[in-house]
Amino acid sequence: MPTAIRAQCRAVGSCLPQQVLDNAMLERMVDTSDEWIRTRTGIRERRMVADGEYLSDLAVASCRQCLQRAGLEAEAVDGIIVATSTGDFSMPAVANVVQHRLAATRAWGYDLVNACNGFVSGIATASALIEAGRCQRILLVAGDVMTPYIDFQDRNTCILFGDGCGAVLLEAGPGDGPGVIDWLMGSDGAGADLLKIPCSGSAIRPSPAALDRGDHFLKQEGRQVYNYAIRHMTESCQQLLQRNGLGIGDVDLLIPHQANQRIMTNVAERLQSRPEQLVSNIDRYGNTTAGTIPLAMADALDDGRLVAGSRVLVTAFGAGFSWGSVYLTWGGSST
């Protein structure tokens, strides 16, 4: 999309809890096996917050690393958007807590709730604010602390999710420079009941009966979600590439939401991408919901695959249903 100002991705930071939850530990909790989990999902281990460790802790650490890599003080930031479905509390928005702890004295903050599509939604929002000239620099934080919402007696879900967070600094740059070139998103609320945490909003009161039913735990119709995820991630990438006159060969890195290795591989094959284009770290972190894409970006940066000028195709799908894709060129330095 031609614009006078382009939102440049200058740096990424990340933070994961220290505590590791590996497949052998899950074998002791539910009727599963390391072999089943690895072959059906690609996951070997995931991270889990300790008691008293909150999303805000992961978010602040991600932001500090991101700012340090960008060579900026927190006062340089105009706004903080935290894409999460698992903030410390449903009120206040955790972005305000992050703003305070960073001493980002000039920044406003708010949360953006869109489950696994939170990072793509945040890119769409932050880049539009920057392109409109309303903001110079926005910290887009994306992450979730999923483990408190997981029923560790439900083998269908407890093997999938982990905790983690990332942050990307978006900054106004020249319209013909690197940055967020185009994005598209879609929604289909007909899928709302297929992936949800029933007792997590105003619909169901957290009564003893609700807790007894386990309504405070995440529920998923895995197979149906799996099929929709492949379809929508593939189609949104194809549409985005096509409307920008690009082929998959014009992309250096494909960074999908990390929900299941088989979903990622399937999408990559349907797009006819080369294996080396796909960025995957699901084996170590599982599905961190909004956190997966910035965490994958941080890993790609660390291993030298994401460098200044890299052409990146991002795609996500999650609860809602909600999905989207972004095409961007990386603007930051390589460290």
- Quick one: how far is CA 141 from the chain centroid? 9
Kindly state whether residue 259 participates in binding ligand UT7, applying the rule CB under 6 A. Answer: yes
**Interface with ligand UT7 (CB under 6 A), residue from 266, 280, 287, 322:** 287
Q: Which residue is nearest to ligand UT7 (CB)?
A: 222
Quick check: 36 binds ligand UT7 (CB under 6 A)? yes
| Interaction between residue 198 and ligand UT7 (CB under 6 A) | no
d(CA 106, CA 88): 23
Residue 2 Cα to chain centre, angstroms: 26
Report in angstroms how near the CB of residue 316 gets to ligand UT7 at its nearest.
Answer: 8
Q: Does 280 bind ligand UT7 (CB under 6 A)?
A: no
Distance CA 297, CA 130 (A): 21
Cα distance between residue 106 and residue 98, in whole Å: 13
Smallest separation (angstroms) from ligand UT7 to the CB of 265: 12
Which tokens hold the place of 241?
């590439």
User: What three-state secondary structure class fits 75?
Assistant: helix
- Respond yes or no: is residue 116 known to be catalytic: yes
Write phi, then psi, for 185 (nearest 5 degrees).
-140, 160
Closer residue to ligand UT7 (CB): 205 or 223: 223
- Give the N- to C-terminal CA distance of the chain in Å, as an integer: 28
Question: Is 244 in the active site?
Answer: no
Between helices 222-243 and 261-270, what is the axis angle to 10°?
A: 30
The region of 5-13, 139-147, 255-263, 294-302 touching ligand UT7 under the rule CB under 6 A is 255-263
Taking CB under 6 A as the criterion, the residue among 16, 66, 116, 138 binding ligand UT7 is 116
Residues catalogued as catalytic: 116, 257, 287
| Contact residues for ligand UT7, defined by CB under 6 A | 32, 36-37, 40-41, 116, 155-156, 159, 222-223, 225-226, 229, 259-260, 263, 287, 318
